[in-house]
């Protein structure tokens, strides 16, 4: 019970943090941001490995293996494609921007 | 849980947070992505060190699985064209959702979910994960135009949705009550595990039904929502496994995905509920057949090129959905360079909902080599139009349609802030016809023959011809 | 140990949240914000009460009592003065602000 | 810990978070404060319900203590003038720090700190809490001008600081090692508890020594820093007590206080380390005696009033430290109303570091009845000066001194962004003399007899006379 409560506390604080982290992000970066957070939830790969490691029946082995493949795709593909996208964001050519020109 | 593992997971979580923080500015975004990826590596290594494995073949299979998934993921990530980014994100989100659902299934099979909290979290994980998986795959096929294109509706769709939803609730209760519920309703006994399999299948169907009625243009919002779903499912499985890396990472993604979804639907000027339920109640947007026989100024590439090179000094380019369709980023970049080499000032005005996905236009243009400090967003570009000599609108309509501000008209885009190109001295449209855009609202600017030149052409070809004309002018 | 680790996790996430919450607050509100967060750390009053309640010697009773008085001052005075300050922030008279006039 | 108590503490933490979120916008700030206060009530009620008390007199004393503290706090909060806000915040911060230090002392006395983590957290709490207490009280007396005004320095101050610091480390080690350390150094045996008392006293002295060399103008930064300290100490005592309300609440304040301190010192244009250590190495600012015999345009209130009512249409008022000293908010508000009743446009330009404390000027002006949408900050007001007819600078110098931007001069304010009043058609200074401000840098604008009118007067009296003059013009 104690553990559950503490997990709840972490869940709530982390949720607020998530909200704060993303508020006011510029439209310019919406697509890469979505793609990167997408890669982060690939952390389920950790769950897949843990479950697979304790597998002792065919069902779990098969299902766990598929889960590992899918999770690895999510993680590696996600970070990779985000990196590719962001690699294209050239830094400004001239330092001084003429906004109100 | 060992102390070292816990600390490693905590470090991973901190790196995720730091990574997301840095993703908020273009200058630091790439390093942010790398930092988050590094956090993932730490979490994985910590997991390897802590799991206890009986036989070597288990390690082997884990390695093969990661390698297989990694190669598939990396290869598709490397080969996907930037225009196909929305479906790529959808696909990766889908596999993540699938992974979570399968993890939860195995846990139930192994009897790992013992407390009622674990059972409820596990059920949530299965349902959300599978909806996210199936929904994302449908979104992928829609965007890739493999199947389900447009808004797919059929009779009694809502009734079916409701039935499946009730069924899922019933099956969940059955799992919780160890099989007692379905029997009580009068049906034959269903063991918790069998209920779970049916639940899994039903959730997949629900995911499909949830997404097929939603039109292609609303797909990015749906993908973002499913992304948040997958994050929540990961957090829920963190509860089940008592794993803090999953808990924190999943929660961060769930919360930030929710906000991102709201930001996006806010930029579209439509509340989230409307997108989802308008999809389900499915009113098709009235498109086309509004071409009128009113007079327009039908300009040739030569005429446009001449005006640009001789009379215009400050030029604002407004790209839209049609640019992505025509893959005209390259010629647009050429146009920028050619004009700049003649001493013109060239800016880009990017509307938040231009393109196929929020922020997508920016990715396309930066890919073509436009530096991101030339990409102005709505608030920054509008004051610039006052002394702009030419606004070139390429494959866009809704985002520059002054009808949105006309209090007399009630259109789907009414109230949406637009790029005020009509304040520029001349307006040049590059599109194939007079047909309106996604919202189906005719644009009065087309018929302002004094101010507007219509260059009827495919965006790619049209821009190439304009570049030629400027060069030879 | 388990509890300590979890507390550490909460500490770190809450610290990030605190940073995010305050970044980009307008100068206009720095003084009230300082005063309000000041009142929030008056939560130590809770600690003072817990310690005082278990007191069974004169030292703890005296010290605990002083702690309660100080803590209550911090909490009640802090929120009160912040409320007074913020009560003076009149809402704008006209809705439309003429910034770039 | 009971489940209900834990949940109540969690709710309190969520209300703190929500409260701080709302404190970021003027429109929602007041409700944010109320929400946070409500969270505090919940945390207190939950604590009352969970503590087990043997005798009724304990409850009585708790009640009396809270009542006493509450009445003292509320009375001072209600009676303090807004100009004395910095010292009020310092005082409340100080009592909080004192509370925490005493709580930690009692815990040690009761032997509650058993694990080494609890001991370390407890030691931190004692040291940080007492430094915060003593430092805040010194800051209070400085600002209230009761004692220690200016920068108090004496010979060998650094040596003394270092000695005390080493002593604190030694005593802490002694507590941790159950009294073994001091003995090993050759001194007589000191029991952990006695070491703790000495530690407590030494920390109080350190707090005093830390703050006395820092000048009054830097005090707000120091108060903000001590505020963050107290938050951290609260978090540390949350570790000791295993209390999540203390842990989360304290951490939030610690982190947000740190950021606030950095924002403030950033606005001052000086790094934090410089403020603290420049205080310790103590170089007095060279003030005064720079009055030159150069010609100035010495204007009468009548002349100023005539110009304002007859030739000026757009007027920007720039208040500074002198306004607060002279308590001239009221007359400034009258001036605004009088000018507005004659159809003039009146704005206020607030420099981030004007006044005695960041954001303090805003509080003073809103107290006098100026609506906050008239208070423009640096970036927003500077473009306005181009078409401003009169900039009235009341009791300010540094924040409008163009010398800050003069690359030829190396002054304490070099590089600080200033309010560019020199772009206005006329500049009117209301101050008592030609003496410069806090930074001691002469202002070339004073001697621009074409543009500048100098109204030599106390701010309150001067403004009153100008109001009269405008009314009778
Ligand atoms: N960005 C998002 O996240 C998002 C999401 C959901 C919905 N939407 C909606 O999508 C719309 C986006 O507005 P928009 O102005 O960018 O686009 P739009 O208003 O939909 O207009 C697109 C235009 O592109 C033209 N076009 C199509 N193919 C072309 C080609 N090959 N060459 C040249 N032109 C071509 C079409 O005209 P022709 O047929 O005459 O060529 C059409 O008028 C908004 O209504 C928005 O609400 C956006
Ligand atoms: N706000 C903060 O948080 C903060 C913190 C630390 C340091 N500071 C420093 O404080 C300075 C603030 O700049 P500032 O422009 O507001 O003030 P300032 O440059 O210090 O100038 C204050 C002026 O007020 C005048 N004055 C004093 N009493 C007056 C009275 N009764 N009536 C009329 N005038 C009176 C003084 O001139 P006379 O003697 O000629 O009247 C003096 O020139 C900056 O250098 C800033 O770095 C601010």
What are the residue boundaries of the structural domains of chain A, listed by start?
32-86
Closest-CA distance of chain A to residue B363, Å: 7
Mean residue pLDDT of chain B comes to 86
Nearest by Cα to D102 from C56, C66, C78, C75? C66
Choose from A20, A24, A41 for mutation: most chain B CBs within 10 A: A41
Q: Are residues B158 and B134 in the same domain?
A: yes
- Taking CA B232 as the corner, what is the angle to CA B230 and CA B236, rounded to the nearest 5 degrees? 115
Nearest by Cα to B247 from C13, D306, D86, D245? C13
Torsions phi, psi for B411 (to 5 deg): -120, 170
- Would you call C5 and B14 a contact, using CB atoms and an 8 Å cutoff? no
User: Which is more confidently placed, B387 or B405?
Assistant: B387
- Percent of chain B at pLDDT > 70 equals 94
Distance, CA of B368 to CA of B361 (rounded, Å): 11
Contact by Cβ (8 Å): D113, D119: yes
Cα of A10 vs centre of ligand 1, distance in Å, is 43
pLDDT at residue A99 is higher than 50: no
**What confidence category does residue B1 fall into, taking pLDDT thresholds of 50, 70 and 90?**
low
Mean residue pLDDT of chain A comes to 85
**Tokens at B281, concatenated:** 């109640």
Residue spans of chain D under pLDDT 50: 279-291
Site residues for ligand 1, CB cut-off 6 Å: B 217-218, 220, 268, 320-322, 325-326, 353-358, 395-399, 431-433, 435-439, 458-459
Residue D85 near chain C (CB below 8 Å): yes
The mean pLDDT value for A79-97 works out to 72
Q: Are residues B156 and B30 in the same domain?
A: no
**What confidence category does residue A94 fall into, taking pLDDT thresholds of 50, 70 and 90?**
very low
pLDDT at residue B231 is higher than 80: yes
Q: Are residues B351 and B419 in the same domain?
A: yes
Domain total of chain B: 3
The per-residue pLDDT for D46 is 93
Q: Give the ligand with the smallest distance to the CA of B270.
A: 1
Q: Which of D259, D278, D297 is the last residue of a domain?
A: D278
pTM of the full structure: 0.84
The reply to whether ligand 2 has any atom less than 6 angstroms from the CB of D399 is yes
User: Which is more confidently placed, B432 or D146?
Assistant: B432
- Would you call B252 and A10 a contact, using CB atoms and an 8 Å cutoff? no
CB pairs under 8 A between C and D: 376
The mean pLDDT value for A18-41 works out to 88
Distance, CA of B233 to CA of B130 (rounded, Å): 10
Q: Are residues D198 and D242 in the same domain?
A: yes
Identify which of D216, D225, D261, D321 to mutate to test ligand 2's pocket (most ligand atoms within 8 A of the CB). Answer: D321
Residue B7 near chain C (CB below 8 Å): yes
Question: Which tens digits make up the pLDDT trace of B13-48?
Answer: 999 999 999 998 888 899 999 999 999 999 999 999
Q: Are residues D104 and D147 in the same domain?
A: yes
pLDDT at residue A95 is higher than 60: no
- Would you call A18 and B76 a contact, using CB atoms and an 8 Å cutoff? no
Instruction: Please report whether residue D283 resides in a domain.
Output: no
Distance, CA of D280 to CA of C41 (rounded, Å): 28
Strand order in the sheet with B345-350: B375-377, B345-350, B314-319, B390-394, B426-431, B452-456
**Per-window interface: C 12-31 vs B, CB < 8 A:** 12-13, 16
CATH of the domain at B454: 3.40.50.1220
The per-residue pLDDT for D269 is 66
Instruction: Please report whether residue B141 resides in a domain.
Output: yes
The per-residue pLDDT for B269 is 66
User: CA of D220: which chain C residue's CA is closest?
Assistant: C31
pLDDT at residue C93 is higher than 70: no
- Would you call A10 and C13 a contact, using CB atoms and an 8 Å cutoff? yes
- Would you call D3 and A13 a contact, using CB atoms and an 8 Å cutoff? no
Determine whether B177 is exposed, middle or buried from the number of CB atoms within 10 Å of its CB (0-12, 13-18, 19+). middle
Cα of D287 vs centre of ligand 2, distance in Å, is 12
Contact residues, chain D, for C34 at CB < 8 Å: 89, 223-224, 227, 257, 260
pLDDT at residue C94 is higher than 60: no
Cα of D471 vs centre of ligand 1, distance in Å, is 60
User: CA of D261: which chain C residue's CA is closest?
Assistant: C34
Q: Which residues of D281-310 are buried (b: 16+ CB within 10 A; e: fewer)?
A: ebeeeeeeeeeeeeebbebebebbbbbbbe
Which other chains touch chain A, taking contact as 3+ CB pairs less than 8 Å apart? B, C, D
User: Which is more confidently placed, B366 or D101?
Assistant: D101
Contact by Cβ (8 Å): A4, B2: no
Residue located nearest, by CA, to atom 27 of ligand 2: D322
Q: Which of D278, D308, D341 is the last residue of a domain?
A: D278
The H-assigned helical ranges of B314-409 are 321-326, 329-341, 360-367, 378-381
Cα of D436 vs centre of ligand 2, distance in Å, is 8
The per-residue pLDDT for B290 is 47
The per-residue pLDDT for C91 is 60
Q: Are residues D379 and D440 in the same domain?
A: yes
Widest CA span of chain A, in angstroms?
Answer: 70
Reply yes or no on whether B178 is catalytic: no
Alpha carbon C77 to its chain's center: 11
Task: Tell me whether 0.85 is exceeded by the ipTM.
Answer: no
Instruction: Please report whether residue D106 resides in a domain.
Output: yes
Q: Which of D26, D34, D242 comes nearest C28 by C-beta?
A: D26
pLDDT at residue B280 is higher than 80: no
Among D373, D398, D406, D458, which one carries the catalytic annotation? D398
Distance, CA of D447 to CA of D294 (rounded, Å): 7
- Would you call A12 and D383 a contact, using CB atoms and an 8 Å cutoff? no
Pairing of strands D426-431, D452-456: parallel
Instruction: Please report whether residue B283 resides in a domain.
Output: no
Cα of B398 vs centre of ligand 1, distance in Å, is 7
Which other chains touch chain C, taking contact as 3+ CB pairs less than 8 Å apart? A, B, D
Question: Which tens digits make up the pLDDT trace of B160-207?
Answer: 888 999 999 988 888 888 877 777 777 777 788 888 899 999 999 999
Q: Which atom of ligand 2 is nearest to the CA of D436?
A: 43
CB-facing half-sphere around the CA of B2: CA atoms within 13 A: 10
Q: Are residues D148 and D189 in the same domain?
A: yes
Q: Are residues B310 and B363 in the same domain?
A: yes
Contact by Cβ (8 Å): B373, A92: yes
Q: Are residues B23 and B116 in the same domain?
A: no
Cα→Cα distances B137→B59, B91, B92, B164, Å: 30, 6, 9, 19
The per-residue pLDDT for B183 is 74
pLDDT at residue B278 is higher than 60: no
- Enclosing domain of residue B407: 289-472
The mean pLDDT value for B138-159 works out to 80
Q: Is B427 helix (H, G, I), strand (E, B) or coil?
A: strand
Among B54, B398, B406, B410, which one carries the catalytic annotation? B398
Q: Report the C-alpha dihedral over residues D248, D250, D255, D256, rounded to 10 degrees.
A: 100
User: CA of A13: which chain C residue's CA is closest?
Assistant: C14
The per-residue pLDDT for C71 is 96
The mean pLDDT value for C39-54 works out to 93
């Amino acid at each position: 019970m104690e553990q559950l409560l503490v997990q709840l506390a972490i869940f709530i604080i982390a949720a607020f943090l998530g909200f704060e982290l993303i508020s006011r992000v510029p439209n310019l970066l919406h697509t890469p941001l979505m793609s990167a957070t997408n890669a982060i939830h690939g952390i389920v790969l950790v769950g897949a490995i843990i479950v697979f490691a304790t597998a002792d029946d065919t069902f779990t082995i098969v299902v766990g293996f598929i889960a590992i493949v899918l999770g690895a795709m999510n993680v590696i593909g996600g970070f990779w494609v985000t990196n590719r996208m962001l690699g294209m964001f050239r830094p400004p050519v001239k330092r001084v921007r003429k906004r109100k020109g | 849980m060992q102390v070292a593992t816990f600390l490693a997971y905590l470090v991973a979580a901190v790196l995720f947070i730091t990574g997301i923080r840095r993703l908020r500015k273009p200058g630091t975004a790439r390093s942010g992505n790398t930092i988050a990826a590094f956090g993932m590596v730490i979490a994985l290594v910590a997991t390897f060190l802590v799991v206890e494995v009986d036989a070597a073949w288990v390690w082997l299979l884990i390695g093969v699985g990661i390698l297989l998934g990694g190669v598939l993921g990396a290869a598709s990530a490397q080969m996907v064209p930037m225009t196909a980014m929305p479906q790529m994100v959808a696909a990766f989100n889908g596999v993540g959702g699938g992974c979570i659902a399968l993890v939860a299934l195995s846990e139930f099979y192994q009897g790992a979910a013992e407390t009622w909290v674990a059972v409820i979290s596990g059920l949530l994980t299965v349902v959300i994960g599978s909806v996210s998986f199936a929904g994302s795959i449908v979104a992928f096929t829609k965007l890739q135009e493999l199947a389900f294109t447009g808004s797919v509706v059929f009779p009694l769709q809502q009734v079916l949705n409701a039935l499946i939803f009730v069924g899922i609730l019933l099956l969940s209760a059955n799992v919780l009550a160890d099989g007692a519920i379905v029997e009580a309703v009068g049906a034959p006994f269903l063991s918790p595990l069998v209920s779970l399999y049916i639940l899994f299948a039903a959730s997949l169907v629900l995911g499909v039904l949830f997404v097929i009625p939603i039109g292609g243009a609303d797909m990015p919002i749906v993908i973002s929502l499913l992304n948040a779903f997958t994050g929540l499912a990961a957090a829920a499985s963190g509860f089940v496994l008592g794993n803090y890396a999953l808990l924190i990472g999943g929660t961060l993604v769930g919360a930030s995905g929710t906000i991102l979804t709201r930001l996006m639907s806010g930029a579209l000027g439509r509340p989230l509920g409307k997108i989802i339920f308008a999809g389900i109640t499915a009113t098709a947007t009235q498109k086309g057949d509004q071409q009128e026989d009113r007079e327009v100024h039908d300009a040739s590439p030569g005429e446009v090129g001449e005006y640009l090179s001789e009379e215009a000094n400050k030029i604002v380019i407004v790209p839209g959905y049609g640019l992505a369709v025509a893959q005209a980023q390259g010629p647009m970049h050429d146009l920028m360079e050619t004009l700049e080499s003649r001493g013109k000032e060239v800016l880009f005005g990017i509307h938040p909902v231009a393109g196929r996905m929020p922020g997508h236009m920016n990715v396309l243009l930066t890919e073509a080599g436009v530096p991101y400090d030339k990409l102005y967003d709505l608030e920054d570009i509008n004051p610039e139009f006052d002394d702009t000599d030419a606004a070139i609108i390429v494959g866009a309509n809704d985002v520059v349609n002054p009808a949105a501000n006309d209090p007399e008209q009630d259109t789907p885009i009414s109230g949406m802030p637009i790029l005020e190109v009509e304040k520029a001295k001349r307006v040049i449209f590059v599109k194939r016809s007079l047909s309106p855009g996604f919202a189906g609202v005719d644009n009065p600017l087309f018929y302002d023959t004094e101010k507007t030149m219509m260059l009827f052409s495919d965006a790619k070809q049209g821009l190439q011809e304009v570049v030629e004309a400027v060069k030879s002018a």
